[in-house]
Amino acid sequence: MAGAAAFSITGNTCSRKSLRPGKSCTVRVRFAPTSSGTVTATLTAVGKKKPAATATVVLTGTGASLGAVPGHLYWTSAGGGTINVANPDGSSPRVLVSGQRGAEALAVGASHLYWTNTSNGTISEANTDGSNPHVIVSGHLSDGVAVDASHLYWTAIGEGVIYEANLDGTNPQAIISGQSGPWGVAVDASQLYWTNPVAGTIWAANLDGSSPHVLLALQDNPAGVAVGGIPGPFLYWANTDGGSNGTINSANLDGTSASAIVTGQNAPAGVAVGSASLYWANPNGGTVNEANLDGGNPHALFANQNASFGVAVGP
C-alpha cells in the first residue's frame, strides 16, 4: 500500500494458492480520514513466481469537512435505566431508550447504538433514534464496548478477555486473553486500546488481537478510554482514583507524552471524543461533562444523572 495514511489494510485472504489463474482473494481496506479533502492511495498485489503478475487498484476517498455535521452526544444512566441523547453542546436532551437498568458502557456506529447491561450480562443494540432495541450478545459481564465499520468489540471483566463479533453480535470470538479485569475499550483504524483498572495499565493491540502490549503503567484505576482529537489523534482515558481526585488524561497513541488534562473529577468513567470537545461521565457525581480537547474549560453539561457511566459521540 502506498499513498495517504488514511487508508489501511484491515483484512487479507490472499495467499500463493489464491492467486493462481482463475482464483481470487480479498483485501479489505479501511478509509479513516483525519481532515477534509480528497486523498488517494495505491494497492498493489505482486505474484511471487517469475514473471510476476501484478494487480493494481487506485483508492480514492474524500474526508468531509470536520464539524460540518455536529453529530450527537449519547450517554447511559445505569440507575435510571435509560440511553439518552443531546446535541453536542448539551441542548435538546431526551431519552432514546428506557427499561435498561444497569446500562453502562456505550458505543455508536454509523446507524446503531450499542450498550452493555451489567444487570444481566448482555450487550444490546438499537437504531440511533432509539427504535428497535434488542439484545445481540449475552453471557458476558462487560463494562466496555467499542465499534468500527465492521466489528463490535467488548471487554469481559471476569474472564479477562476481549471479544470481537460481527456488528449484529454473531460469530463472537475471544481475540485477547490473560488480562486483569479489562474495563474500557476503544478502537481506531488499526488498533484496539483497553484499560486494566486493577493492574493500573493501558494496553494496545492490532485489530485481530495480535501483538498486545502495555502502553502505560502506574495508572490510578483507569476506566474509560477513547481515541480521537484534532490535531491528533490522541489517546484519552479516565483515572477514577476511587474518589474526588479523578483525572482525565491524554497521550500520544504510543503512550508517550502522557499527562492529566482535567483534575478534581469524582470517579470519572466513560470517555468520548468529538470533533471539538472531550466528554466524560462521573457516575459518583451524577454528571456528564465537557471540555476542550486540551482539557480547557471543563464543565458539567448535565447534573443529577443517575449513575451515568458511558458516553459516546456519533452521527
Domain span at residue 122 reads: 72-314
In the listed set 63, 87, 111, which residue is the last one of a domain according to the structure? 63
Query: 3-state DSSP call for residue 48?
Result: coil
Contact (Cβ atoms closer than 8 angstroms) between residue 72 and residue 314: yes
- Please indicate, yes or no, whether residues 23 and 113 belong to a single structural domain of this protein: no
What are the distances in angstroms from CA 256 to CA 220, 251, 274? 17, 6, 22
Contact (Cβ atoms closer than 8 angstroms) between residue 223 and residue 195: yes
The CATH number given to whatever domain includes residue 299 is 2.120.10.30
Give the helix, strand, coil percentages of the chain, each rounded to 5: 0, 50, 50
Give pLDDT, residue 63: 54
- Please indicate, yes or no, whether residues 277 and 191 belong to a single structural domain of this protein: yes
- Please indicate, yes or no, whether residues 49 and 119 belong to a single structural domain of this protein: no
* Residue-by-residue pLDDT tens, the chain, 315 positions: 565 555 667 556 676 555 566 667 766 655 656 444 455 677 777 766 666 667 777 766 655 444 334 689 999 999 999 999 999 999 999 999 999 989 999 999 999 999 999 999 999 999 999 999 999 999 999 999 999 999 999 999 999 999 999 999 999 999 999 999 999 999 999 999 999 999 999 999 999 999 999 999 999 999 999 999 888 899 999 999 877 789 999 999 999 999 999 999 999 999 999 989 999 999 998 999 999 999 999 999 999 999 899 999 997
- The DSSP secondary-structure symbol of 19 reads T
- Please indicate, yes or no, whether residues 57 and 77 belong to a single structural domain of this protein: no
C-alpha cell at 87: 446535541
Q: How many folded domains does the chain comprise?
A: 2
Contact (Cβ atoms closer than 8 angstroms) between residue 212 and residue 133: no
User: Cis before residue 133, ω within 30 degrees of 0?
Assistant: no
In the listed set 41, 63, 85, which residue is the last one of a domain according to the structure? 63
Give pLDDT, residue 275: 87
